[in-house]
Structure 1
Amino acid sequence: MFHLRLFIEYFKQYMKIRLAYRWDFVAQFGTDFLFQAVNLVFILVVFQHTSSLSGWNQSEVIFIYGYFLIPWAVFSSFFNLWDFNERYIIKGELDRVLTRPVHSLVQVIMETMTPESLIGVFTGLIVMGYSLPRLDLHWTWVDPFLFLAFTLGGVAIYAGIYIALTSISLYTDSKSDIQPIIYNISTYGRYPVNIYHRVIQFALTWVLPFAFVGFYPASFLLDREQWQWYAWITPVVGAVYLALGIYCWNRGIKHYRGAGN
């Protein structure tokens, strides 16, 4: 409850700051929506030249892409760690964080969150809704709960991987270009994994499991039995990678020696 109340206070302060420049806040929503629309147009253009992509039709690929946007939006909202090195290591703000009686990772997450990125959740639902009339799906009452579990599992996978990557900064004060590279790899999870080479399929499943963020859960919701087993273990994979990320962070904090001068 203490951390929940703290989160609410941080959220209130953040919204006060953002709403001081209301049009900038609104523009952020528009920019995010247009960015995702461009990716949707790319899929539509691809299917102008083919009716199927490794056994997946246009509506199914759009559905997978729409689902992918939801865990990505939640992750982007509450694990905005992109400038951690410059802000907390180079500028020394992590020293301030470590003097407070709250876990350092929790503080960093609350200080860097960007709730406006949650617009991606609505964008994803719109994209999924666009494809649904063309799909013959039969969902049961349990599917919404599975949808939530899969989404949280996907968020945990993203969080664990990027927390682990961010923890590298705790060992060095030099900027790293690893995160942009991993981001480019993560976008592979928005498409059916079987369109890639087997080596890439293995990497997206068991090394950097971004296929569990988008493809496997979405294929389960599309009633593709071939991939159902993978979808079921999505929350487990998420828990494992999140635990790994937190472990790497805690080890890095113990190694951290301060900003110096």
Structure 2
Amino acid sequence: MFYLSLFWDYFKNYAKTKLTYRADFWIEVLADLSFQAVNLVFILIVFQHTPTLGGWSEAEVVFVYGFFMVPYGIFGTFFNLWNFSDRYITKGEMDRVLTRPAHNWFQVTLENMDPPSLIGSLAGIVIMASCWVELGLPLEFWDIPVMLLLVAGAVLVYGGLYTALTAISFYSDAPTGILPLMYNIQNYGRYPINIYNKIIRFMLTWLIPFAFVGVIPASYFLGDHGDGLAQLALLTPVMGIVFMTLGMLVWNHGVKRYRGAGS
């Protein structure tokens, strides 16, 4: 209850700030939707030159992209840690966070939450629903709970990976530049991984498992394409728990190494 009340207080502060600068809020929403629209148009352009991609039809790849958008929007809302090194390490704001009773990771994520990113998740749901109808997929009563479970697992995969990568700032005085690199790699997870070579497939599945934020969980609803991805889909929550646990272990160890801001 303490953390729920803390979340609500942070959200109210966020809302008050955005109500003061409403134009900034809508510009942010528009920019996010425009970015997602460009990515979607890119997929559509690809299918102007080929009927299938690795055995996947246009509607199936677009469905995967729609699924990819849902956990990514939630992740962008609650794990907005892009400027952590500059704000909390270089400028010393981590000192302030560590003097408070709530867990430091929870405080940092709440201070930087970005609710407009949820608009991308809503757009992803619309895209999936449209493709679901186009593909004629059956809708069973258990599909919605399974969808929620898979989305939660995908969010945890995101959160664990980026928590661990953000924690590198505790071990290095200078920004590593690895977050932008990882941001580009994650986009590979929205395409069928059988179009990549074996090394990249292994990396995206088990080492930096961005396949579990898009194509693998989406395969549960699209069926088997001869690549075994549908059988891996239910591992998504397990992968999420494993990588979120690893991320928090790296974070907590990094906090122990933190010695405060220097002059």
Greater CA drift, 29-38 or 60-69: 29-38
Query: TM-score of the superposition, structure 1-length normalised?
Result: 0.98
Task: Measure, in 2, the Cα distance between the counterparts of 1:86 and 1:210.
Answer: 26
Compute the displacement of 1:62 (Å). Answer: 0.3
Q: Secondary structure at the match of 1:141?
A: coil
Compute the displacement of 1:198 (Å). Answer: 1.0
Compute the displacement of 1:105 (Å). Answer: 0.3
Q: Which amino acid aligns with 1:232?
A: L
Compute the displacement of 1:89 (Å). Answer: 0.3
Task: Measure, in 2, the Cα distance between the counterparts of 1:55 and 1:17.
Answer: 48
Q: How many corresponding residue pairs? A: 261
Compute the displacement of 1:27 (Å). Answer: 1.5
User: For residue 222 of structure 1, what is the aligned residue in structure 2?
Assistant: 222
Task: Measure, in 2, the Cα distance between the counterparts of 1:45 and 1:194.
Answer: 20
Match of 2:244 among 238, 242, 245: 242
Q: Which amino acid aligns with 1:20?
A: T
Q: Which amino acid aligns with 2:240?
A: G
Matched, 1:17 2:12: no
Question: Could you report, residue by residue, the CA deviation over 1:184-228 in whole angstroms, capped at 9, with x for unpaired residues?
Answer: 111100111111111110000000000011011101111227322
User: For residue 256 of structure 1, what is the aligned residue in structure 2?
Assistant: 258
Compute the displacement of 1:31 (Å). Answer: 1.3
Q: Secondary structure at the match of 1:173?
A: coil
Task: Measure, in 1, the Cα distance between the counterparts of 2:189 and 2:139.
Answer: 23
Q: Unpaired segments of 5 or more residues in structure 1?
A: none
Q: Is the 8 A contact 1:137 1:223 kept in 2?
A: no
Compute the displacement of 1:139 (Å). Answer: 2.4
Query: TM-score of the superposition, structure 2-length normalised?
Result: 0.97
Task: Measure, in 1, the Cα distance between the counterparts of 2:149 and 2:133.
Answer: 24
User: For residue 179 of structure 2, what is the aligned residue in structure 1?
Assistant: 179
User: For residue 231 of structure 1, what is the aligned residue in structure 2?
Assistant: 233
Compute the displacement of 1:84 (Å). Answer: 0.1
Task: Measure, in 2, the Cα distance between the counterparts of 1:120 and 1:170.
Answer: 31
User: For residue 126 of structure 1, what is the aligned residue in structure 2?
Assistant: 126
User: For residue 35 of structure 2, what is the aligned residue in structure 1?
Assistant: 35
Compute the displacement of 1:115 (Å). Answer: 0.9
Where does 1:73-152 land on structure 2 (aligned, <5 Å)?
73-152=73-152
User: For residue 154 of structure 2, what is the aligned residue in structure 1?
Assistant: 154
Q: Unpaired segments of 5 or more residues in structure 2?
A: none
Compute the displacement of 1:46 (Å). Answer: 0.7
Q: Which amino acid aligns with 2:256?
A: K
Task: Measure, in 2, the Cα distance between the counterparts of 1:212 and 1:139.
Answer: 22
Question: Could you report, residue by residue, the CA deviation over 1:154-184 in whole angstroms, capped at 9, with x for unpaired residues?
Answer: 0000100010011110122211100111111
Q: Which amino acid aligns with 2:188?
A: Y
User: For residue 164 of structure 1, what is the aligned residue in structure 2?
Assistant: 164
Compute the displacement of 1:145 (Å). Answer: 0.5
Q: Which amino acid aligns with 1:54?
A: G
Q: Which amino acid aligns with 1:242?
A: M
Compute the displacement of 1:75 (Å). Answer: 0.3
Q: Secondary structure at the match of 1:233?
A: helix
User: For residue 63 of structure 2, what is the aligned residue in structure 1?
Assistant: 63
